Amino acid sequence: MPLRQSFHHITRAGRWVFSKPKNEVCSRNFSNSIPVLNSALRRSSLFDAEKEKQRQAVGRIEKIEVDVVSDFGNELLIMNKDLSTPYDCTKHISKFVGQTAVVALVDSNQPWDMHRPLSEACSLQFLKTTDKNPWIPNNVFWRSCSFMLGAVVTEAFRDDISVILHSFPSPNIQSGSFVLDAYIGLESWIPAPEELRQLSKEMIKLSERELPFERLSVTQEVAEEMFSDNPYKINHISKIFGNHNEVVIYRVGNHVDISRGPMMSHTGLIGRCTIASTHYLKEDQLYRFQGVALPKGHKLNHYAYGILEKRAMLLNSHMIPSEASLSYEPTPEYATEAKEVSN
């Protein structure tokens, strides 16, 4: 290795250490991308407008009592109704809790996003992946990884290659990988190892920015206006509004997508991440991106992590769109927890 090289030229993603890539397809830098008024930015500005509108609609501020339950005892906080989030509650407890909590648990049965305003008096717990039973935070983490992969995939390709996100299935950790399905305007693309590493690197870069997952539930008109350039999403939205009267959308940076949620607190909770493979799904004409990740602070040796990576290279057949639509209507990840239509 030439030794004059400084560490800026070396990057680590997954278990690889490599110098700066010279790629063919994945050439754009996610964090330093030039702001063009593309569809992602348009969606993001719509999201901003809708968020501001919902904030204005709160009106007179009322107070609610929030009982924070933890191992070190309970704490009673007086918070603002429809404004204060569980993350705001952590500011009264400790910075450490706010940084490490993945998701909150309201009234000890309902998972609640860290950045979603609380609507009534409740008891609150903060869940971490290091808990005794980390089942909820693990699933939330896995879902958030799929979401972040969507953000990376939309940004990573060259501008002349069209990328249309299809969906990601509900989190299934036992399937060995988190999954994202997307249409890529490339014929018979078999990604080079460097391209996959570049995607892994973009995931790590996104995680280093520690962006919050913002949540909003919107009406059909707003959702359709946002995703007007995405025929798959339009289809999904119309399916969702058959059963529900709201749809939940999330935003990370400029990336907006539909998901039932809940999502984790911020992107910085990913410690180690590998995008292992992509597979072409012939029937759907989609590419399936697969990856494996571990939360920050979880240690695993290289050999064991290599086993997980190898498994993630095989096709994960969990809810392939064309097969899943036969048995599931609509796809579970898109179902919302909003109120059912009363009539």
Select the span of 19-27, 136-144, 184-192, 199-207 touching other proteins (CB under 8 A): 136-144
Q: Does 304 bind other proteins (CB under 8 A)?
A: yes
Q: Does 302 bind other proteins (CB under 8 A)?
A: no
The Cα–Cα gap between 66 and 315 comes to 45
Shortest spacing between CB 239 and other proteins, in angstroms: 17
Could you tell me which of 80, 41, 241 has the C-alpha nearest to residue 89? 80
List the alpha helices (DSSP H) in 104-230: 135-156, 193-208, 220-226
Shortest spacing between CB 87 and other proteins, in angstroms: 20
Shortest spacing between CB 69 and other proteins, in angstroms: 15
Considering only residues 319, 330, 334, 336, which one is a binding residue for other proteins as defined by CB under 8 A? 319
Shortest spacing between CB 177 and other proteins, in angstroms: 9
Identity of the residue, 226 or 319, whose beta carbon is nearer to other proteins in the bound complex = 319
Identity of the residue, 49 or 173, whose beta carbon is nearer to other proteins in the bound complex = 173
Of residues 141-160, which lie at the interface with other proteins (CB under 8 A)? 141
Q: What's the DSSP call for residue 226?
A: H
Cβ neighbourhood burial of 126 (10 Å; 0-12, 13-18, 19+) = buried
Considering only residues 95, 132, 282, 339, which one is a binding residue for other proteins as defined by CB under 8 A? 132
Q: Does 188 bind other proteins (CB under 8 A)?
A: no
CA distances from 141 to 137, 147, 289, 323 (A): 6, 10, 17, 25
Could you tell me which of 27, 44, 24 has the C-alpha nearest to residue 36? 44
Of residues 235-294, which lie at the interface with other proteins (CB under 8 A)? 260, 292, 294
- Strand 214-218 vs strand 247-252: parallel, antiparallel, or unpaired? antiparallel
Q: Does 176 bind other proteins (CB under 8 A)?
A: yes
Strands (E), the chain: 10-13, 16-19, 63-68, 75-80, 103-106, 110-112, 122-127, 163-167, 178-184, 214-218, 247-252, 255-258, 270-281, 286-295
Q: Are 339 and 246 in contact (CB under 8 A)?
A: yes
Q: Are 138 and 131 in contact (CB under 8 A)?
A: no
Considering only residues 45, 74, 130, 238, which one is a binding residue for other proteins as defined by CB under 8 A? 130
What is the total count of residues that contact other proteins (CB under 8 A)? 47
Identity of the residue, 33 or 134, whose beta carbon is nearer to other proteins in the bound complex = 134
Of residues 20-79, which lie at the interface with other proteins (CB under 8 A)? 72
Q: Does 133 bind other proteins (CB under 8 A)?
A: yes
Shortest spacing between CB 276 and other proteins, in angstroms: 12
Could you tell me which of 311, 287, 25 has the C-alpha nearest to residue 164? 287
Identity of the residue, 327 or 343, whose beta carbon is nearer to other proteins in the bound complex = 327
Q: Does 17 bind other proteins (CB under 8 A)?
A: no
Q: Does 105 bind other proteins (CB under 8 A)?
A: yes
Cis geometry, peptide bond prior to residue 330 (ω within 30 degrees of 0)? yes
How many Cα atoms within 13 Å fall on the side-chain side of residue 111? 20
The Cα–Cα gap between 123 and 139 comes to 22
Q: Does 318 bind other proteins (CB under 8 A)?
A: yes
Q: Does 324 bind other proteins (CB under 8 A)?
A: yes
The Cα–Cα gap between 63 and 120 comes to 9
Q: Does 102 bind other proteins (CB under 8 A)?
A: no
List interacting residues with other proteins (CB under 8 A). 1, 3-4, 6-7, 72, 96, 105, 109-111, 129-130, 132-136, 138-139, 141, 169-176, 260, 292, 294-295, 298, 300, 304, 307-308, 311, 316-319, 323-324, 327, 332
